[in-house]
């Protein structure tokens, strides 16, 4: 593994004890002799970081340390100009399913990872394009999922869905989730979808509150392209707002007959882990998998 000489540091802005947290992390990084660049916007007001050089667009670093929950990770990935830079994630959010290190482990685990004792794990990204007629009106990417859902008005959507050009179903539902294996433990799981191991190259299609018992979640090959057209319904009392959301953070309004085309991105996100295949341990620790609760 490439020697880590320069580390970038970004974090969730509203961590209550962020001065203490950042100071602990900086102390470890400095003791290991690495150069540290900080996200000035999100370390503003922290005395421990005021003399550090600024992390500019997360470029020129061998490792990006992300302090927060999964949402902070999604934001950091979107801001990465070079997506090949590995991420080391320290949990200071909620469940933090993607996080590798808890804050209490920083002094013991972080030095080991900086010394090359970790492993790199790649996770796939989704590539999403929206077409209005022949014109592409939106492009984006997601680690967890793309969600097509209704807005404030509770009315069923009609989503005509095909896979590799072959008709699959017209979902009559509150929405549809298209998830990666990484996202299979997030919104898709809450909506009744299966857990998929992250080493599998697959996509999960999970309808949200479908109006038919025959419309269940389905797992398809990861190399397939999914196209969803928002159909215009008959006998509408009002126009319902339909939204496209990526990882719960990026929003785009959809119109009738817009087509959402989703496939695996050629790029991957890389995480620095302490050991290979911690997925089952993560299920047990963070989702209480198999416990009687």
> 17 near 47, Cβ under 8 Å?
no
Closest by CA to 189, choosing from 177, 200, 199, 172, is 177
3-class secondary structure, 19: helix
Residue with tokens 């399913």, as numbered in its chain? 97
- Rounded Cα distance, 118 and 243, in Å: 40
pLDDT at 293: 63
Catalytic residue among 14, 17, 39, 70, which? 70
Is 228:130 a contact under the CB 8 Å cutoff?
no
Polymer length of the chain: 293
Among 121, 79, 98, CA closest to 269: 121
Where do the domains of the chain lie? 6-117, 125-266
3-state secondary structure of 47: helix
pLDDT per position in the chain (293 positions), as tens? Answer: 567 899 999 998 888 888 999 999 999 999 999 999 999 888 888 889 888 888 876 668 899 999 998 899 999 988 887 778 899 999 876 666 788 888 889 999 999 999 988 899 999 999 999 999 999 999 999 999 999 998 766 678 999 999 999 999 999 999 999 999 999 999 999 999 999 999 999 999 999 999 988 899 999 999 999 999 999 866 554 556 899 999 999 999 999 999 999 999 999 999 998 876 678 877 887 777 777 76
Q: Which of 50, 37, 51 is nearest to 9 (CA)?
A: 37
Query: Catalytic site residue 70?
Result: yes
Residues whose CB falls within 8 Å of the CB of residue 104, separated by 6 or more in sequence, listed in order? none
Q: Look at strands 63-68 and 157-163 and give their pairing.
A: unpaired
Domain 6-117 falls under CATH 3.40.50.10330:
yes
Kindly state which CATH superfamily the domain 125-266 is placed in: Probable inorganic polyphosphate/atp-NAD kinase; domain 2 (2.60.200.30)
pLDDT confidence of residue 237: 47
User: Which residue spans within 1-132 are E strands per DSSP?
Assistant: 6-11, 35-38, 53-54, 63-68, 87-91, 101-102, 119-132
């Amino acid at each position: 593994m490439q020697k880590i000489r320069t580390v970038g540091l970004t974090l969730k802005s509203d961590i209550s004890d962020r001065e203490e947290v950042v100071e602990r992390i900086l102390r470890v990084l400095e003791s290991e002799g690495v150069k540290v660049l900080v996200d000035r916007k999100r370390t503003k007001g922290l005395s421990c970081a005021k003399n550090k050089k600024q992390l500019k667009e997360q470029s020129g670093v061998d490792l990006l340390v992300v302090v927060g929950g999964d949402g902070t990770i999604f934001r950091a990935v979107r801001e990465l100009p070079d997506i090949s830079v590995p991420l080391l994630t320290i949990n200071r959010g909620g469940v933090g399913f993607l996080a590798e290190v808890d804050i209490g482990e920083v002094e013991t685990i972080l030095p080991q990872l900086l010394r090359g004792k970790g492993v790199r794990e790649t996770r796939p990204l989704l590539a999403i394009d929206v077409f209005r007629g022949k014109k592409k009106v939106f492009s984006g990417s997601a680690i967890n999922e793309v969600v097509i859902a209704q807005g404030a008005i509770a009315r069923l959507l009609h989503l005509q869905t095909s896979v590799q050009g072959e008709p699959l179903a017209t979902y009559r539902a509150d929405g549809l989730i298209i998830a990666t294996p990484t996202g299979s433990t997030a919104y898709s799981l809450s909506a009744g979808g299966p857990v998929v191991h992250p080493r599998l190259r697959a996509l999960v299609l999970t309808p949200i509150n479908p109006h038919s018992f025959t419309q269940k979640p389905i797992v398809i090959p990861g190399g397939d392209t999914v196209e969803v057209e928002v159909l215009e319904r008959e006998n509408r009392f009002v126009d319902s707002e339909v939204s496209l959301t990526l990882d719960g953070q990026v929003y785009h309004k959809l119109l009738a007959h817009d087509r959402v085309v989703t496939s695996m991105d050629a790029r991957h996100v890389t995480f620095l882990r302490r050991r290979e295949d911690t997925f089952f341990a993560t299920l047990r620790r963070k989702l209480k998998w198999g416990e009687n609760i």
